[in-house]
Amino acid sequence: MSKFKLYIFLLSFLLCLLVMIIGGYAGHNFKLLSSLCIYSVLSFLILFYTKEHNKKWKLIITLAIPPFLMYSPIHILYFNSTLISLPSTLGHFAGIFFGILLYFSNKKMRIPFVILMYILFYWLSFIGYKYWLYRINFGTFTGHINMYKKISFEGKSEKGHLTNSHFSGKVLVLDFWNTRCGVCFEKFPLLQKTYEKYKFNNNILIYAVNKQLQNDDESNVFQMIKERGYTFPVLLPSDKSISEKFEITSYPTTLIIDKDGYVIFKGDIADAINILEKFKS
């Protein structure tokens, strides 16, 4: 390996580590944006300043080797569990691809191309990635679904046992959580805010539905919410497999069930709020 190729390899390796650190602190969307921007610029500069044609492509391949070696074994061995980070991993290679496109673009069109390219990078990182996360966590790209099956739902609250008839004719918001879900507790302030907004609305009922884990104590579940100052009602479903019946695979997951008993939304509480607006009257 030539000295210059070694420099490119080491630089790419260090940049991969930098991008991983960015992702660890700021999230996968920032990791994706960083990898797209860094590798598109670097690949373009390599092609632009390297004179020998054959050497250009050898250096581009060298640039791609570190992210391939660092990420591919993880994604191959733990494919399903690493799907959430797949776009940010592919961002390295997509960045190289866009850098190549920029190099071969018409010189007069490079400025508009760069502007469009970075607009696309922003969309992929902060809008497109959200669609991806929804698909992985909730099974759809937007959260809007039509679950044409009615699922009987009842459970225990601090005020007593609630049957399916209690929810009849109401818009039901069910926020599924469990006691070991850190993200669930991060979302609870927004759930509380939503509950405060609609608690006097006769058309809407809101519950935090606990998915009981092994060794969970019923009274402790209610206490965990109270001691944090939240007032939204907690529900312990009678059917322990109710989460599976609603096809919930990640926590937290918020469902909206319409007055006829059909699930019309499955996703994040922040997006559920917008849908609730049309049911407030």
CA proximity to 246, closest of 133, 138, 136, 135 = 138
Q: Which two tokens stand for residue 265?
A: 């939304």
- Considering the domain 144-279, what is its CATH architecture? 3-Layer(aba) Sandwich (3.40)
- pLDDT value for 41: 97
Distance CA 169, CA 198 (A): 16
pLDDT value at position 153?
A: 81
DSSP strand E in 41-183: where? Answer: 144-147, 155-157, 160-162, 171-177
How many other CB atoms are found less than 10 A from the CB of residue 132? Answer: 19
Q: How confident is the model at residue 145, as a pLDDT?
A: 85
Residues 6+ apart with CB under 8 A from 102: 40, 44, 110, 113, 114, 117
CA dist., res. 185 & res. 226, Å (int): 13
Coil, strand or helix: which one is 160? Answer: strand
pLDDT at 148: 66
pLDDT at 172: 93
- Residue-level pLDDT at 48: 94
User: Along the 281 residues of the chain, how does pLDDT read in single tens digits?
Assistant: 578 899 999 999 999 999 999 998 999 999 999 999 999 999 999 999 998 888 999 999 999 999 999 999 999 999 988 999 999 999 999 999 999 999 999 999 999 999 999 999 999 999 999 999 999 999 899 898 877 677 778 889 888 888 888 888 899 999 999 999 999 999 999 999 999 999 999 899 999 999 988 887 877 888 899 999 999 999 999 888 899 999 998 999 999 999 888 899 999 999 998 888 887 76
- Distances in whole angstroms, Cα of residue 170 to Cα of each of 52, 80, 90, 276, 281: 71, 37, 44, 12, 12
* Residues sharing a CB contact under 8 Å with residue 193, sequence separation 6 or more, in sequence order: none
Distance separating alpha carbons of residues 256 and 194, to the nearest angstrom? 13
- Cis-peptide, bond into residue 237, ω within 30° of zero: no
CA–CA distance, 183 with 177 (Å, rounded to integer): 9
- What pLDDT, on a 0 to 100 scale, did the predictor assign at position 123? 97
- What pLDDT score does 281 carry? 65
Q: What is the reported pLDDT for 12? A: 96
Residue 1 is predicted with a pLDDT of 58
**Torsion over CA of 213, 214, 215 and 216, rounded to 10 degrees?**
10
pLDDT at 238: 87
Residues with Cβ < 8 Å from 76, sequence gap 6 or more?
none
One-letter amino acid identity for 145?
I
Q: Give the CA distances from residue 281 to residues 269, 275, 276, in Å, rounded to whole numbers and listed in that order.
A: 20, 13, 10
Phi, psi of 157 (to 5 degrees): -115, 175
Residue range(s) occupied by CATH 3.40.30.10 in the chain? 144-279
At 268, list the tokens.
Answer: 């994040």
